[in-house]
Structure 1
Amino acid sequence: MGRVARILFKGQPAGHLIETERGTRFEYDSGWQQDIACALPATRREHEWPIGLHPVFEHLGTEGWLREGQARVARLAIEDDFGLLLRYGADCIGAISIGAETEGTRSDAFVDPTVNPGRTVSGVQRKLLVVRGVTGFLPAPAEGAAPFIAKFNSDANPTFVRNELLSLRWTAAVLGRDEVTAFEAGGVGGVDDHALIVHRFDRDAGGRRLRLEDCAQILSKPQGRNHRGKYEASYEEVAGAIARHSARPVIDLARFFRRLVVYALIGNCDAHLKNFSLLERPEGLRLSPAYDVLNTLVYGDRFDGEFALALGGRRRQTGEIVREDFETFGREIGLTSAAIRQTFADLKRGVAKAAPLIRPPQGEPPDGFVHRFSEIVESQCLRLLP
């Protein structure tokens, strides 16, 4: 037997994750009755995964910049998913955490606050868990609450933060403020870069953990080579997950449909499985607020213009999707024709209300960022909301 991790749910011991010859096995503790994930029903005491970590746990881990930093500080191979979770999994997104480990997997000898000791946050973009200090935000220490996520520009693209701030503001104006995660701009001590600060919704006002699962976890999609597994699915599969697991499936399917059309309007081609999640509410699991919204079409050839997941049985370019495609999709996931018409009417009013937010500033040249951003949104709106 390989390494063993103690799995906690909302801070309570729920079971063990055990390395097998090539994969992993999760075992619920005797007497534990609550599901810790949609893909790990407690009615089955053991859940085997043949190769690597089970996706429920694999998708808790980091990607890209933060993963490289974690592996360097912990002196682990960058491919060691299990080891990185043992080292940094005490505070993960959602209610699952890694609370105990085999001897020698965690060390306090090498501490770098910019990799969040003992904490992890998934995603490929440069990001950190942070806390609000007296004069600004600071990287979260190993202990205590970490209620914010700071997202930074990449070395290759200095406009990511500006883009997501503008995209979130526009999306919130179109869909309604409660439909989008709370956010603000700010700086983080020790990091020489402007940041987008996202308020975590997987923690309540008292800092208690809330269950949150993205659709890659719910659908048990492995990360795959180069973390591309989150694109190997369809929006119909996402709708199916919502229909099966939401406490209010009719309402949440309508919210999901509306959100998907908005992503096409804003040119967001990166709405993959990990960007749709179910969040614990008093009534049960519900579609979470929107997050990770970016106008990727503004970057031209540097980003694939293909819609992130298949729609209507095939992959297609975002600029080729027409209103009839969405209408067909809406009917297939159970929406009435009247509800679909009302959605487009509501979105048209929302787009008009949000128009001033993406108006280019006076003096910006025609090839400036906001000019290009607004031109893409206007073009998409003319096609989908005639």
Structure 2
Amino acid sequence: MINHISPKLTVYFQDNLAGHLWLDSERRFVFQYTRDWAKSLRAVPLSVALPLQEEAFENDKSRSFFANLLPEAQIKIIISRNLQISDKNDFALLEKIGGECAGAISVFPEGLMPQVKPGYRKLDKESLHNIIISLPQRPLLAGEEGLRLSLAGAQNKLPVYVENEEISIATGNAPSTHILKPPIPGLPDSVENEAFCMILAGKMGLPVPRVKIFHTPDAFLLIERYDRSWDKKRHLQRLHQEDFCQALQIMPDQKYESEGGPSLPQCFNVLSSYSLKPAADKKALLRWIIFNVLIGNADAHAKNLALLYHQRKPSLAPFYDLICTMAYEELTDKLAMKIGTENRVTWLALRHWENFAETVEIKKSLVLKELVKMSGEIILKAEDLAKSFIKDHGDVKIIPRILEKIRKNAMQVKY
């Protein structure tokens, strides 16, 4: 019997009770699957790092999984302050805001169950505008009655439900369909930047969710959630996912390789070890790396990669959070994960890509083939997209700067 000093939290997978989470006498996380879930033929593990078993995961072994469900950095600090909780108290934060998380997981105080009937609160333009401008002071609307929303990341965002272009807030345990991302303070045209890069990724053949820019009159981005799906009866279902930090048991404040976080070889190893289709997924991951180099996205870290579950077995999820960070002079140009031994785009040489190929165990010829192919395609595709993008959204100042970075980076990697 494991002693615990805290009330237990119940962990649901979709609408099924999957396990319990508590703190032991030394305030370490302990998670245990219920016997029914551990033995069920349709059960899915929370993580590849937390395989189905009846024995408890003690000594904080589950902490990284649950911590990675929560917001990060300043967003987490503000939410904690609003809820009068220490920002170091992940357990208490999960209790307060763990109702609508990434993937199929919901966390509730013991005795509180998911609502059978989901609820949605429609927002008119004025209400939506007021919510967007209040997000810096009230991230995820934490503390508002009936809302228990959580999304990982260091930027403001809000899970919402969209139907017929009407936007609603999910209440209780109702699932959302989209993620709303307002402008990033200090980064002009961040909404247009991310929309452009996400659409460009799709045109380059990368799997990405659909995105759309809305105005209230402020611009914001709506991103379709790939971890939500409609069943045949038009019921909205949660699909399970976990990011690569969760899979590798890395805490969110260590997501950057320079801080001891995951490297590209570790990310490829996740796919080799757990993916339903490792060869195809590793090629997709290679193309994601090249695309981020070409668009100048230095913030492509392991929390921007995820496994999406199909029954019990996962594969690489669609890509998200694609943005040209190098369009902003104040942001670093050092890549979040090294290519070989180099993390500066302008310093990347053929030897770095060859070294990278060796460390991730991919044929050098495949890496160079994709480099040549993608660098040869992206300039024309980006220029064509820019024409239609400006036609739809006006003269957005960031677009010429993104095109400049793409041209420069594409010429840099043409070996």
Q: Is this a same-fold pair by TM over 0.5?
A: yes
C-alpha change, 1:87 and 1:46, in structure 2 (3 Å) is: same
Q: Retained in 1: the 8 A contact 2:99–2:173?
A: no
Letter in 2 for 1:293: L
Report the equivalent of 1:274. Answer: 303
Report the equivalent of 1:258. Answer: 287
Report the equivalent of 1:89. Answer: 98
Cα distance in 1, alignment partners of residues 88 and 218 from structure 2: 28
For structure 2, the 5+ residue unaligned runs are 113-137
Q: Retained in 1: the 8 A contact 2:10–2:17?
A: yes
How much does 1:44 deviate?
Answer: 6.2
Letter in 1 for 2:9: A
Q: Retained in 1: the 8 A contact 2:67–2:90?
A: yes
How much does 1:59 deviate?
Answer: 0.2
C-alpha change, 1:276 and 1:323, in structure 2 (3 Å) is: farther
Q: Which moved more, 1:164-173 or 1:274-283?
A: 274-283
Partner-residue secondary structure (3-state), 2:219:
strand
How much does 1:347 deviate?
Answer: 1.4
Give yes or no for the alignment of 1:198 onto 2:207. no
**1:31-83: CA deviation from partner (whole Å, max 9, x where unpaired):** 423422111012462212349x7111000011246434533443322332111
Report the equivalent of 1:322. Answer: 349
Cα distance in 2, alignment partners of residues 185 and 233 from structure 1: 32
Give yes or no for the alignment of 1:232 onto 2:261. yes
Report the equivalent of 1:344. Answer: 371
Cα distance in 2, alignment partners of residues 136 and 41 from structure 1: 40
Report the equivalent of 2:331. Answer: 303
Partner-residue secondary structure (3-state), 1:208:
strand
How much does 1:86 deviate?
Answer: 0.7
1:150 to 172, 180, 183: 180
> For 1:91-130, what aligned pairs fall within 5 Å after superposition?
91-101=100-110, 114-115=141-142, 117-130=147-160
1:61 to 41, 55, 70: 70
Letter in 2 for 1:295: C
Cα distance in 2, alignment partners of residues 112 and 134 from structure 1: 26
C-alpha change, 1:205 and 1:135, in structure 2 (3 Å) is: closer
For structure 1, the 5+ residue unaligned runs are 104-110
Q: Retained in 2: the 8 A contact 1:231–1:273?
A: no
Report the equivalent of 1:246. Answer: 275
Cα distance in 2, alignment partners of residues 100 and 147 from structure 1: 24
Cα distance in 1, alignment partners of residues 102 and 215 from structure 2: 22
Letter in 2 for 1:140: A
Partner-residue secondary structure (3-state), 1:307:
strand
Letter in 2 for 1:181: P
Report the equivalent of 2:213. Answer: 185
Report the equivalent of 1:221. Answer: 250
**1:346-369: CA deviation from partner (whole Å, max 9, x where unpaired):** 31453133332246969xxxx942
Cα distance in 1, alignment partners of residues 300 and 197 from structure 2: 13
C-alpha change, 1:122 and 1:112, in structure 2 (3 Å) is: closer
Give yes or no for the alignment of 1:23 onto 2:33. no
Cα distance in 1, alignment partners of residues 405 and 280 from structure 2: 30
C-alpha change, 1:374 and 1:135, in structure 2 (3 Å) is: closer
Q: Percent of aligned positions with the same letter in both sequences?
A: 23
Q: Paired residues, what number?
A: 367
Cα distance in 1, alignment partners of residues 192 and 181 from structure 2: 11
TM-score (norm 2): 0.80
Q: Retained in 2: the 8 A contact 1:210–1:280?
A: yes
Give yes or no for the alignment of 1:173 onto 2:203. yes
How much does 1:384 deviate?
Answer: 0.9
TM-score (norm 1): 0.85
Partner-residue secondary structure (3-state), 2:332:
coil
Q: Tell me how large the CA RMSD over aligned residues is.
A: 3.0
Report the equivalent of 1:49. Answer: 59
**1:312-341: CA deviation from partner (whole Å, max 9, x where unpaired):** 2x4522221234422432343233344334
Report the equivalent of 1:355. Answer: 383
Report the equivalent of 1:139. Answer: 169
Letter in 2 for 1:344: L
**1:280-325: CA deviation from partner (whole Å, max 9, x where unpaired):** 236831111110001111111x21111102332x452222123442
Cα distance in 2, alignment partners of residues 311 and 260 from structure 1: 9
Cα distance in 2, alignment partners of residues 187 and 64 from structure 1: 27
How much does 1:5 deviate?
Answer: 1.0
Cα distance in 2, alignment partners of residues 97 and 145 from structure 1: 10
How much does 1:219 deviate?
Answer: 0.4
How much does 1:135 deviate?
Answer: 6.1
C-alpha change, 1:231 and 1:201, in structure 2 (3 Å) is: farther
Cα distance in 2, alignment partners of residues 141 and 65 from structure 1: 24
Cα distance in 2, alignment partners of residues 39 and 131 from structure 1: 31
Report the equivalent of 2:86. Answer: 77
Give yes or no for the alignment of 1:6 onto 2:34. no
Report the equivalent of 1:335. Answer: 362
Letter in 1 for 2:363: T
Letter in 1 for 2:30: R
Letter in 2 for 1:42: L
**1:250-284: CA deviation from partner (whole Å, max 9, x where unpaired):** 11111101110110001000011100101123683
C-alpha change, 1:263 and 1:44, in structure 2 (3 Å) is: farther
Letter in 2 for 1:196: L
Partner-residue secondary structure (3-state), 1:255:
helix
Give yes or no for the alignment of 1:376 onto 2:405. yes
Cα distance in 1, alignment partners of residues 342 and 94 from structure 2: 33
Cα distance in 1, alignment partners of residues 215 and 173 from structure 2: 21
Partner-residue secondary structure (3-state), 2:314:
strand
Cα distance in 2, alignment partners of residues 151 and 361 from structure 1: 20
